[in-house]
Structure 1
Amino acid sequence: MATVELTADTFEKTVTGNDIVLVDFWAEWCGPCKRFAPVFEEASEKHDGVVFAKVDTEAEQQLAAAAQITSIPTLMAFRDSILVFAQPGALPAPALDGIIEQIKGLDMDDVRAKVAEQQAAQGQQDS
């Protein structure tokens, strides 16, 4: 499966419409981004059922700002529409494969429970 380009118009639909979505935030001028691109592309060929998406931070500045991207490349991973991983920096192939396997192995009921706890705690702080 090849990577797909995401825009502000397609980001939310892609994240909510798929089980696992990895998003690479990058820019053309970024050396580490260029070195990470083939690793990301190769992983997309190996991991069926995972959507590999890219966001050009130059073309999609508002989307990058909304995602609070301060360093590129930044990799974000969503499972069941929940952000489960976010890390700046280019990863070597074995590390990327390991992260994907960890994401596939997540107990999403446990993740949703933790998210609910955090939201409840945040709600109490805001009161």
Structure 2
Amino acid sequence: MATRALDQQTFAEAIQENETVIVDFWADWCGPCQRFAPVFEKASEAHSDIVFGKVDTEDQRALAGGLGIQSIPTLMAFRGGYLVYREAGAMSGPQFEELLKAVKGLDIEKLKEQAAAAAGSDES
């Protein structure tokens, strides 16, 4: 599957409706973003079980601002609707593959249990 452009509405839908979502926040003027783009695209073609989204921070300022994006490129990874990774900076192909492997290896049920436990401790 190729990458897909995300906006405020499709960003939320992608996370809610898919098991694993990787989002690249980028801009045309960003050199590291341009160098990372082929790595991201190649991975999207190799991992059809993951949704690869791209958010143009110039076009989607409200979305990027609402998520606190201050540096680009920034990558976010979601598993089962939960944010499991967020980091600014481009990656090499092998580094990105390691991240994808780690994200795909996460136990969704365990994530849900941890989130429920954290929510319970927040309420007390």
Asked if Structure 1 and Structure 2 have the same fold, meaning a TM-score greater than 0.5 normalized by the shorter chain, the answer is yes
- Establish whether residue 67 from structure 1 lines up as the match of residue 86 from structure 2: no
Q: Which runs of 5+ in 2 are unaligned?
A: none
What SS does the corresponding residue of 1:70 show, helix, strand or coil?
coil
The runs of 4+ residues in structure 1 deviating greater than 3 Å are none
Alignment size in residue pairs: 124
- Measure the CA separation in 2 of the matches of 1:119 and 1:59: 34
Partner of 1:8: 8
Offset of residue 40 of structure 1: 0.3
Offset of residue 119 of structure 1: 2.1
Partner of 2:33: 33
Offset of residue 123 of structure 1: 2.9
Partner of 1:120: 120
- Measure the CA separation in 2 of the matches of 1:70 and 1:122: 27
- Establish whether residue 99 from structure 1 lines up as the match of residue 62 from structure 2: no
Offset of residue 36 of structure 1: 0.5
Counterpart code for 1:106: L
Offset of residue 107 of structure 1: 1.1
TM-score norm. by structure 2 comes to 0.95
Identity of aligned residues (%): 47
Counterpart code for 1:75: L
TM-score norm. by structure 1 comes to 0.93
CA RMSD of aligned residues (A): 1.0
Offset of residue 117 of structure 1: 2.3
What SS does the corresponding residue of 1:106 show, helix, strand or coil?
coil
